[in-house]
Structure 1
Amino acid sequence: MRKLLAILLVVAMSISMLSACNKTQTVDESPTPDTSTPQSQKEKPKTETVELRTVSMFGGTDPSAADYQQLIANFKKENPHVSITDESATADETWKARVTTDFSSGNDPDVVFYFTGADATQLIEAGKVVSIEEIRKEYPDYAKDITDAAMSFMKEPDGKHYAVPIRGFYEGLFCNTDLFEKYNLDLPTDWDKLEAAIKKFSAEGIVPIAVSFSDVPHYWIEHFILATGGYEDHKLNPKDTYPESWAEGLRLFKTFKDMGAFPVDVNATKNDIVTNMFYDKQAAMILDGSWIVGGIKDPDTTTVLPVPCAPGGKKDPTDIIGGFSSGFYISTKAWNDLSKRDAAVKFVQYMTSKEAISLFAKVAGAPAADVPSPEGLTPIMEAGIKLGGQAKHIDMPIDSRLNKEAWTYLVSAIGSIADGQITPEDVLTEVVNKNK
């Protein structure tokens, strides 16, 4: 499975979309009145307008935002009776909370592009989303283009599948290579080089690592733990106790902050802001996912590397975080509404067709369908292929295992850990207590 995923880790091409055609209607002009209505003049039955409310993470700086909106526009042209109210936004912790609040308060969206694993547990256990197995009883071709390898990541603890994936991902340490060259620094292929780069950039007034602790700190949570505990400790789901390597990993937040690794307002700034800092060469590095490749302004001077092993750590230098962890869900509320069911199914089928997946996957990440390989790869795309192809282990993120309460608490505590206001041990003890 790892090799298969590694082969998949990069992507496709753009496509042309379908256009609608117009029909003309003729009228029978007979000189002799006829009491019957000619067939051509009979009023055709009107199709009732269907309103769908959709929610996705294709907003903000997501490089697929424009493609997604174009796909929605094309879908509406082909289905003029369907009205779409789309609520797309950046997938930070605030957005996640809003999605779960909507479901718990009865404001269920009809279709939602959301995470799998622990993030989806609350929705599944509450019966808020309908399984693919149930949908296929009536629509056997639903999600027909999705590969078995991609769909295997979607399996939930109850043995069913709910989300239809479109692209996978890898996470890595993206570097502006021109900044490293300017300051005569080696790329951070080991821990000593990483620390040397942090200290030099900080002294030169360049933000070493673009990151926000206020809404998206989780890439460093999992990579610090991977850097200290390796694949075997990282893949654990701590319910009774936690590995010591997890505390060692979280302790690195303070170590790095004391070195000047992060923006001075790291506890308050937002992910969109720091991502643009990296794009605009105001920051040397950012730890993020393959989805940022499409937004990189200078792909010839950007590369991506695995986070190196920490001193005394157990990580293989090639290990990375990756997989398939999100997809399109149809809410039970929409499924049970017979006036919306068919439109919701058609919408998801449209968004998960091979043509649509080619658009979503072109920004980088493993396509969930068998689509053609891209031509004219940029250096950063080639670096992504290398990252996945050389990985000894590829593990899913920690938030795919911790329950929602435990994960939310852990994320909220990162700023305090970095400031030395609370110890990693105290935080992890509480994480274990909440992760029952």
Structure 2
Amino acid sequence: MKKRFLSLSILVVLLMVTVLGCSSKTESTNSQDGSKEVTIDFAIHVANPKDQEPAFYQMVEKFKEKNPDIKINLNGTDQKEHIKNMKLKAQSDTLPDIFWILPASAKELEEAGKLLDLSPLLKDKTVDPDKFHASMIDTYNLDGKQYGLPYQALVTGFWYNKALFDKYNLELPETYEELKAATKVFKENNVTTIAKGAKDPYSVWAFLTMFSRYGFFDEIDPILAGDESFNNANFLKLYEKIDELAKLGAFPANVSTLSYFQAVEMFLSGEAALLDAGVWETQKIQESALAKDAGLWWGPTFSDGAGNQKLSSVVPAAPLVVNKKVKDDKSKYAAIEKFMEFYYSEEGAQIMLDNQVPPIIKYAGEIDEAANPVFAKVVEAMNDPEWESQPNQPDLIVTEAVGNAIYDSIYGVINGIYTPKEALDVVDKKISAQ
């Protein structure tokens, strides 16, 4: 009996040694070359990053190749579900290490004390702020804290079909007066000047940039504070010009029933001279019959505008942010620091260019102009020293409700539903309600 008890005791000891040994092996973070492995939890806004965000996915893969001791646990879900998940995780204090988030949500998380201040990366030039396009950095700075850095650039304007301008002996316009003159000629020849679809009311990107040419960023803060009115002299001038273009027949006759996607098809089929859109349409245009004739125009300048008229729109679409808790883990912080350095490097910018995504930094890089003529023109326009980007897209710095009211007001004038003054009052009422 004693012998049997001794055997059982030895067996228990052996089992404990085995379990402890396995546990130790499981918790080990050493790689094959003996260096310590670090895992970064990274969450983004698409379900299939490889296919839906190839530039980003290739960036991650290249980074892992260059840093075999850093593992990236990439978790992708569609945008709506992703935003919901991030809000829930913020409440339970279980946010991933680094993640994509919408601008308004990012600001809320910063105000709640959930995000890491990335200022040190900029101060020591791990991420060189001087290389970025204007406003890319300042947009995500609150009270001196850099709570995010841009994921990609949002580039919008008017796509043009030069063949149509040439056909009617017209130069590409620079000023509003030249656009108005071209509109009259196109109308006489049954050509739509600007393809637009009101069924997707957010599709007013080029018109939002026009707001900036009438002093939007000088006036919006006192307007939102209730000290001034959205229905003011400068904005009224812009809305009167939108009304004038509508009456001249610049927009499709059935604009009220068209979708944005139908407007794109109208442009691609050669029925319209201009399309209000952004760089996301580059590939589609490049694969069409318009490839050799299409380019991106920042929109008209105005003789009665306010401030700089040569404003482009190269703004941050949404930020990448970092969980504040990362600072407590030196190895993880160092790994994310390395990732940020690579993401905003010229090597990272070239990966974006290779995937026809406008780089966030000022970098012309290598573009096969023969194979990608449309994208080459976009990058050339972005780097034109004569044009300066607006600080941000106007609808991105107001609440969603106010942004929707701005869309409604613009299309209301285009469709003849509102007079210019009535359209401005629509936005004023929404601001007052909040």
Pairwise same-fold verdict (TM > 0.5): yes
CA RMSD, Structure 1 to Structure 2 (Å): 4.8
- Shift in Å, 1:245: 1.5
| Structure-1 residue corresponding to 2:202 | 216
| Structure-2 residue corresponding to 1:26 | none
1:368 and 2:361 correspond? yes
Q: Give, in whole Å, the separation in 1 of the partners of 2:302 and 2:403.
A: 23
TM-score (norm 1): 0.65
| Structure-2 residue corresponding to 1:172 | 157
SS at match of 1:198: helix
Number of aligned residue pairs = 378
- Shift in Å, 1:177: 0.5
Tell me if the contact between 2:353 and 2:365 (Cα under 8 Å) persists in the aligned partners.
no
| Structure-2 residue corresponding to 1:407 | 403
- Structure index of larger Rg: 2
| Structure-1 residue corresponding to 2:394 | 398
Q: Give, in whole Å, the separation in 2 of the partners of 1:410 and 1:59.
A: 33
* Change over 3 Å in CA distance of 1:319–1:164 after alignment to 2: closer
| Structure-1 residue corresponding to 2:74 | 84
Q: Give, in whole Å, the separation in 2 of the partners of 1:268 and 1:344.
A: 47
CA deviations 1:181-211 (Å, max 9, x no partner) are 2343332223233234334445655443233
* Change over 3 Å in CA distance of 1:264–1:391 after alignment to 2: same
1:65 and 2:53 correspond? yes
Q: Which moved more, 1:49-58 or 1:335-344?
A: 335-344
Q: By percentage of residues, which structure has more helix?
A: 2
Q: Give, in whole Å, the separation in 1 of the partners of 2:185 and 2:111.
A: 50
1:161 and 2:161 correspond? no
1:113 and 2:109 correspond? no
CA deviations 1:101-148 (Å, max 9, x no partner) are 5544448676443455x67433322345433248x6xxx999824434
Picking from 231, 250, 253, the partner of 1:261 is 250
% of aligned pairs identical? 18
Q: Give, in whole Å, the separation in 1 of the partners of 2:333 and 2:265.
A: 40
| Structure-1 residue corresponding to 2:417 | 421
| Structure-1 residue corresponding to 2:8 | none
Tell me if the contact between 1:225 and 1:234 (Cα under 8 Å) persists in the aligned partners.
no
- Shift in Å, 1:275: 4.1
Tell me if the contact between 1:50 and 1:339 (Cα under 8 Å) persists in the aligned partners.
no
Q: Give, in whole Å, the separation in 2 of the partners of 1:424 and 1:52.
A: 46
* Change over 3 Å in CA distance of 1:132–1:294 after alignment to 2: farther
SS at match of 1:238: helix
SS at match of 2:143: coil
- Shift in Å, 1:156: 1.8
Structure 2: 5+ residue stretches without partners: 1-17, 19-23, 30-37
Picking from 225, 237, 257, the partner of 1:248 is 237
| Structure-1 residue corresponding to 2:166 | 181
Q: Give, in whole Å, the separation in 2 of the partners of 1:162 and 1:333.
A: 13
Tell me if the contact between 1:52 and 1:344 (Cα under 8 Å) persists in the aligned partners.
no
Q: Give, in whole Å, the separation in 1 of the partners of 2:174 and 2:407.
A: 27
- Shift in Å, 1:160: 0.8
- Shift in Å, 1:390: 1.6
Q: Which moved more, 1:122-131 or 1:48-57?
A: 48-57
